[in-house]
Amino acid sequence: MSEVSAELLTQFVVKQAQVWQTVAMHLSEQNNTLVEIPTPTSNAAPIGDLTGLTTDPVLHIQAQFAEQSDAPCLFIVGEQPSERQAALQALLEATLGTPTDEVNDAALQAVQEFGTHLMQGLAIAFGNLTSKTFTPDQIVARYEPVTFPPNFLTVDEVIATRFTVQIPDRTPFTLTWLLTENLARTLLGMPAVQDDPFASLMETPEPAAPTPATPMAFNPFAEPEESPERNIDLLLDIPLEVSVELGRVTMLVRELLEIGTGSIIELQKAAGEPVEVLVNGRLIARGEVVVVEDNFAVRITEILSPVERVQRLGA
């Protein structure tokens, strides 16, 4: 789980005027009419504050860029319930050409076409900023409770950009563009967030290109043949606390004070169930208790892979 970084949000806000001016120009060309989008506002929005979108039908567009197929974004028509119906009617009037509040197949098709033009404008705008190619893909308009795509469920916050579309002789309407930090970083040409602090140790570094004129300095962390196993070797001498947990129980302070010699504490685990093996408080294996030369020991019956064990320690 992650929060939107202040650095990313600042960069995203700074580029808003330039981006949406380009989007407005593209919409104007596609619709053969003047379209204006004043500089919108952007902020970090906790996912918990958006759960109201999942209860009642909401007109929205889900879209993605082909280059970031694992990072869909959403355009919400009327994020706040108080403005939802008015925004819906204004958007349908702008896309269909006649006032209506009936969201039928024709209306959804018109809104989907608008979403396509909108994504094309964003692709052009961010492509100009980064000299990269962005291709709109999988654009679908729906009128139903919002189902957040999987990439929204792995973060605590998303970026919410609220923008107003103004067309002559039409009622302005406001939409909210929701996207994750990693998609925003890609659009701005910034490196993706690395959530796992051990991830850099698990990656194979690219070999540096040799420079004939300058002898290469010795660098044990950048050898061309280095593998994930070699990187794990860097951690082998770190001491860790291994403990075995037989079971747990929750007690009141009153019950705790009543414990004395001979008291029996019943654990919340049935006899014969495997015990848990913890490393620095993180579960990595399960096993059964055995006796080895008058000492208790644990025979491992289930264990995570070496890579999963390292990732658990960094969680």
User: What is the pLDDT, as a whole number, of residue 303?
Assistant: 84
More confident residue, 311 or 30: 30
In which band, very low, low, confident or very high, does the pLDDT at 202 lie, cut at 50, 70 and 90?
A: very low
Percent of the chain at pLDDT > 90 equals: 36
300 neighbors 290 (Cβ within 8 angstroms): no
Fold match, 6-188 / 225-259+266-314 = no
Chain centre to alpha carbon of residue 109: 29
Helices then strands, each counted (H, E), the chain: 9, 10
Q: Tell me the pLDDT tens digit for each residue of 80-94.
A: 888 899 999 999 998
Task: Map out the domains of the chain as residue ranges.
Answer: 6-188, 225-259+266-314
Q: What spatial distance separates the first Cα and last Cα of the chain, rounded to whole Å?
A: 10
Chain centre to alpha carbon of residue 189: 17
CATH class of the domain defined by 6-188: alpha beta
Query: Is residue 77 classed as helix, strand or coil in its secondary structure?
Result: strand
The yes-or-no verdict on residue 152 having pLDDT over 70 is: yes
User: What is the pLDDT, as a whole number, of residue 112?
Assistant: 94
173 neighbors 76 (Cβ within 8 angstroms): no
User: What is the pLDDT, as a whole number, of residue 308?
Assistant: 65
> Fold for domain 225-259+266-314?
Surface presentation of antigens (SPOA) (2.30.330)
Count of other CB atoms within 10 angstroms of residue 9? 18
Q: Are strands 275-279 and 41-46 parallel, antiparallel or unpaired?
A: unpaired
- pTM of the model as a whole: 0.61
CA distances from 308 to 93, 277, 284, 304, 305 (A): 54, 14, 8, 6, 5
